[in-house]
């Protein structure tokens, strides 16, 4: 467990994001204070009115007092409204800034971080938690602080009227707030339990809805229905438990004013009959008690939200404190042209499972311009090997180097990551798409690449006809998993890499089968893309293996075989030869 985040860290976070909005924040504070002042001032006019009636003031005087009262009431509301507006602006500006920083921070963290945190979870951090925080800025703080100030203001005024009634109501209020706090503390775990069972219920429903085929063919409906009944029953019980306690909280805004009223009845009867105060003053007490009724409701509701916001803040600060373990190098250029690759006794295991060697003493060199076909079963370490080249991870033992055309090798940690990623292109099995135009998907939002360059690249790759077949050309809006077939997605990925013009291409071929036309397009595009570059192919098709100059076979993380493809094809002892012969090729490649 990590230690809880300190108040100082909260403070730093708030100051960082509120500082640029100084002016607005000041305005906000001012508006809140004016609103409170008006709310405190106004009841005095009722006193004046009632005392006026009692002392026989003229009618116009009375009406004037009533007009002023109404005017102040309207002004107070307007102030509140403008305050709310400014509050929203401040909240959204501040949290948008935080959202962007947080998202960038997450993107810059290592792949091991992304392996451990699913996209849904990160959406929850970057948007869900930050939203709660926005609510915290715009509603909670303002409302809680202003309502608290209002209560304090009322109490001070009551003390000024008569210390006895002031003291009585202060005691009642303090007791009330202490009780409220007592209830809230015990309520929090109950609400959490309710939220948990509720999210379980709908989580399971979603799973079951995705598994209707399984449920039908296993005749599992009675079992699943029983699970559903159980979850719904539990939700009911948790709700009952929470609401029983919550009733205590809900009763306080009724109970506190009632006790205050009783105090006021007794006090008023005593002082009024002794002619120590006017009738207007007695009524003033009741009116002030009513003024604090509203704030009690608000505080009652929002103290709980406050705890939620604190939890969000905790998670955000924690996330911001995560540091990438892969540190940037300093060398920011690599010679143009094809790159060489060298693995020097590289071993690798994931940090969370150091026992299992994913790669075990891999040693090889690939000369510039050569094409390496990488074979092996799922889990043999092929993908990991390519990920090390990208420094998604650093090897546990040994080092990975890139060589320029002049025979110099540079260990990857010496290079900046920007350089590394500019010079290596990658086509993954599953092409990751954005909900954006085809153009943005090709350039990855790089506006400096103009349409002519994109079109030239596509023409070069033989994809112009394909492009012309799309409904809106480069403006075609893409949707992940929907608008492109697996083959088309591959084409797009090839275009991406070609535009980046790297010296080393890593190609993890899609294992899904493609229609012949698309396959043909891909073959042609590959001819162009791979020419003059160093290439590592994780191949799934025999046709692609045929492109390779060299073949490397991995098994359980070890290098089983590495040699020229043509030599291996001739060598009857080689694993590659056996693979081709025994008809198992489709199996290993699939």
Partner 1 sequence: MIAEKIMQQTQVETLKTYQYFWQLIRFRPRYYAKDLSGVTIHFALSTVQGLVLKAYFDGLTGVGGLPVWQVVGVQIVQVILVLLSLYVAVMGYVNFTQHGMSLLIRNLFRHILKMPGGQALPNNQDGSTMTTGQVVSTLRDDVDEMAHSIIIIDDTVALSVTALISFTIMLRINVWVTLGTFIPLAIIIVIAQRLGGRAKSYRQASRQATSDVTGMIADMFNATQAVKVGHAEERIIARFRNLNDRRRETMVKDRFLVHLIDTLSGSTVDIGVGFILLVAAQAMYEGTFTVGDFALFASFIWPSTHLMRTIGNFLTRYKQVGVSTNRMEAIMQGEPAGAVVAHHPIYMTGDLPAIPFSPKTAVHQFEALRVKNLSYRYEGGSGNGDGTDGIENISFDVARGSFTVITGRIGSGKTTLLKVLLGLLPLQTGEIWWNGELVSDTTSFFVPPRAAYTAQVPRLFSESLRDNILLGIPEEQVDVAGALATAVMTQDLLSMENGLETMVGPRGIRLSGGQVQRTAAARMFVHDAELLIFDDLSSALDVETEQQLWENVAERMKDEGGRQKEVTALVVSHRRPALRRADHIIVLENGRLADQGTLDELLQRCEEMQRLWQGQV
Q: Which of residues 30-89 bind partner 1 (CB under 8 A)?
A: 39, 42, 46, 49-50, 53-54, 59, 62-63, 65-67, 69-70, 73-74, 76-77, 80-81, 84-85, 88-89
Give dist(CA 304, CA 306) in Å, integer: 5
- 211 binds partner 1, rule: CB under 8 A: yes
Binding to partner 1 (CB under 8 A) within 436-465 occurs at 436, 440, 444-447
- Among 126, 150, 298, 303, which residue sits at the site for partner 1 (rule: CB under 8 A)? 126
Yes or no: say if 428 and 359 are a contact pair by the CB < 8 Å rule.
no
Q: In which element (H, E) is residue 481 found?
A: none
- Among 33, 41, 111, 193, which residue sits at the site for partner 1 (rule: CB under 8 A)? 111
Q: Which stretch binds partner 1 (CB under 8 A): 7-15, 25-33, 402-410, 414-422?
A: 414-422
Rounded to a whole number of angstroms, the minimum distance from the CB of residue 6 to partner 1 is 28
Q: Which residue, among 387, 385, 411, 381, has the nearest Cα to 399 in the 3D structure?
A: 411
Rounded to a whole number of angstroms, the minimum distance from the CB of residue 233 to partner 1 is 5
- 202 binds partner 1, rule: CB under 8 A: yes
- 108 binds partner 1, rule: CB under 8 A: yes
- 353 binds partner 1, rule: CB under 8 A: no
- Among 223, 276, 345, 459, which residue sits at the site for partner 1 (rule: CB under 8 A)? 223
For 415, which DSSP code?
A: B
Of 388 and 550, CB closest to partner 1: 388
What's the Cα-to-Cα distance from 193 to each of 8, 120, 242, 488, rounded to whole Å? 30, 21, 9, 47
Which residues have a Cβ under 8 Å from the Cβ of 400 and sit 6 or more positions away? Answer: 341, 342, 343, 344, 346, 388, 389, 411, 412
Rounded to a whole number of angstroms, the minimum distance from the CB of residue 365 to partner 1 is 23
Binding to partner 1 (CB under 8 A) within 500-519 occurs at 500, 513
- 269 binds partner 1, rule: CB under 8 A: yes
Q: Which residue, among 545, 557, 588, 553, has the nearest Cα to 574 in the 3D structure?
A: 553
- 477 binds partner 1, rule: CB under 8 A: no
For 477, which DSSP code?
A: B
Rounded to a whole number of angstroms, the minimum distance from the CB of residue 314 to partner 1 is 20
- Among 116, 174, 262, 477, which residue sits at the site for partner 1 (rule: CB under 8 A)? 262
CA atoms in the 13 A half-sphere facing the CB of 400: 24
End-to-end CA distance of the chain: 43
- Among 8, 104, 160, 472, which residue sits at the site for partner 1 (rule: CB under 8 A)? 104
Angle at 175 between CA 169 and CA 176, to 5 degrees: 85
- 251 binds partner 1, rule: CB under 8 A: yes
Rounded to a whole number of angstroms, the minimum distance from the CB of residue 226 to partner 1 is 5
Of 231 and 550, CB closest to partner 1: 231
Rounded to a whole number of angstroms, the minimum distance from the CB of residue 126 to partner 1 is 5
Provide the Cα torsion 545, 548, 552, 554; round to 10°.
-30
- Among 33, 41, 112, 127, which residue sits at the site for partner 1 (rule: CB under 8 A)? 127
DSSP-H helix ranges across 136-220: 142-161, 163-210, 212-217
Of 66 and 335, CB closest to partner 1: 66
Give dist(CA 456, CA 503) in Å, integer: 19
Yes or no: say if 525 and 491 are a contact pair by the CB < 8 Å rule.
yes
Q: In which element (H, E) is residue 60 found?
A: helix 59-108
Rounded to a whole number of angstroms, the minimum distance from the CB of residue 213 to partner 1 is 4
- Among 14, 255, 397, 470, which residue sits at the site for partner 1 (rule: CB under 8 A)? 255
For 528, which DSSP code?
A: H
Binding to partner 1 (CB under 8 A) within 298-337 occurs at none
- Among 29, 33, 220, 306, which residue sits at the site for partner 1 (rule: CB under 8 A)? 220
- Among 10, 148, 159, 208, which residue sits at the site for partner 1 (rule: CB under 8 A)? 208
- What DSSP assignment string belongs to 200-257? HHHHHHHHHHHTHHHHHHTT-HHHHHHHHHHHHHHHHHHHHHHHHHHHHHHHHHHHHH
Which residues have a Cβ under 8 Å from the Cβ of 323 and sit 6 or more positions away? Answer: none
For 283, which DSSP code?
A: H
Rounded to a whole number of angstroms, the minimum distance from the CB of residue 446 to partner 1 is 6
- 433 binds partner 1, rule: CB under 8 A: yes
Of 315 and 563, CB closest to partner 1: 315
Binding to partner 1 (CB under 8 A) within 138-197 occurs at 138
Contact string (CB under 8 A) for partner 1, positions 285-304, x = contact: -xx--x--------------
- 474 binds partner 1, rule: CB under 8 A: no
- Among 96, 322, 323, 570, which residue sits at the site for partner 1 (rule: CB under 8 A)? 96
Rounded to a whole number of angstroms, the minimum distance from the CB of residue 330 to partner 1 is 17
Yes or no: say if 189 and 241 are a contact pair by the CB < 8 Å rule.
no
Give dist(CA 392, CA 386) in Å, integer: 9
Binding to partner 1 (CB under 8 A) within 536-575 occurs at none
């Amino acid at each position: 467990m990590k230690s809880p985040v300190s108040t100082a860290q909260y403070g730093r976070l708030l100051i960082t994001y509120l500082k640029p909005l100084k002016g607005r924040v000041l305005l906000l504070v001012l508006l809140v204070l004016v609103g409170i002042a008006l709310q405190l001032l106004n009841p005095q006019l009722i006193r004046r009115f009632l005392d006026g009636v009692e002392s026989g003031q003229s009618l116009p005087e009375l009406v004037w007092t009533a007009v002023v009262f109404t005017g102040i009431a309207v002004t107070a509301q307007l102030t509140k409204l403008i305050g709310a507006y400014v509050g929203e602006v401040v909240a959204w500006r501040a949290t948008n800034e935080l959202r962007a920083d947080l998202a960038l921070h997450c993107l810059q963290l290592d792949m091991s971080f992304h392996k451990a945190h699913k996209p849904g979870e990160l959406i929850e951090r970057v948007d869900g938690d930050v939203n709660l925080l926005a609510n915290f800025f715009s509603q909670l703080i303002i409302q809680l602080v202003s309502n608290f100030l209002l209560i304090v203001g009322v109490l001070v005024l009551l003390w000024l009227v008569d210390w006895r009634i002031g003291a009585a109501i202060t005691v009642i209020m303090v007791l009330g707030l202490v009780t409220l706090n007592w209830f809230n503390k015990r309520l929090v775990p109950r609400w959490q339990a309710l939220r948990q069972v509720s999210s379980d219920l709908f989580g399971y429903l979603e799973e079951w809805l995705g598994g209707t085929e399984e449920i039908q063919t296993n005749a599992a409906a009675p079992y699943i229905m029983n699970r559903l009944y159980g979850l719904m029953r539990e939700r009911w019980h948790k709700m009952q438990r929470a609401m029983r306690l919550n009733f205590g909280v809900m009763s306080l805004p009724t109970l506190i004013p009632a006790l205050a009223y009783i105090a006021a009845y007794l006090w008023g009867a005593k002082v009024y009959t002794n002619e120590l105060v006017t009738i207007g003053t007695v009524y003033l007490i009741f009116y002030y008690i009513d003024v604090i009724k509203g704030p009690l409701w608000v505080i009652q509701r929002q103290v709980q939200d406050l705890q939620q916001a604190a939890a969000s803040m905790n998670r955000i600060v924690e996330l911001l404190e995560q540091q990438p373990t892969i540190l940037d190098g300093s060398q920011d250029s690599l010679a143009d042209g094809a790159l060489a690759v060298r693995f020097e006794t590289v071993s690798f295991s994931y940090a969370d499972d150091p026992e299992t060697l994913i790669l075990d003493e891999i040693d090889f060199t690939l000369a510039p311009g050569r094409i390496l076909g990488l074979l092996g079963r799922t889990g043999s370490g092929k993908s990991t090997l390519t990920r090390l080249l990208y420094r998604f991870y650093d090897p546990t033992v040994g080092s990975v180097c890139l060589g320029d055309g002049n025979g110099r090798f540079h260990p990857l940690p010496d290079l900046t990551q920007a350089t590394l990623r500019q010079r290596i292109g990658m086509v993954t099995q599953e092409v990751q798409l954005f909900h954006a135009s085809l153009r943005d998907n090709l350039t990855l939002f790089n506006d400096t690449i103009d349409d002519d360059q994109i079109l030239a690249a596509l023409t070069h790759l033989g994809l112009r006809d394909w492009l012309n077949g799309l409904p809106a050309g480069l403006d075609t809006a893409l949707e992940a998993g929907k608008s492109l077939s697996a083959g088309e997605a591959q084409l797009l990925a090839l275009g991406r890499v070609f535009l980046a013009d790297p010296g080393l291409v890593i190609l993890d071929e899609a294992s899904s089968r493609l229609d012949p036309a698309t396959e043909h397009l891909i073959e042609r595009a590959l001819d162009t893309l791979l020419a003059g570059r160093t290439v590592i192919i994780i191949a799934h098709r025999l046709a692609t293996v045929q492109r390779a100059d060299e073949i490397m076979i991995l098994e359980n993380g070890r290098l089983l075989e590495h040699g020229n493809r043509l030599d291996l094809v001739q060598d009857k002892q080689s694993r590659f030869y056996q693979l081709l012969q025994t008809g198992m090729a489709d199996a290993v490649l699939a």
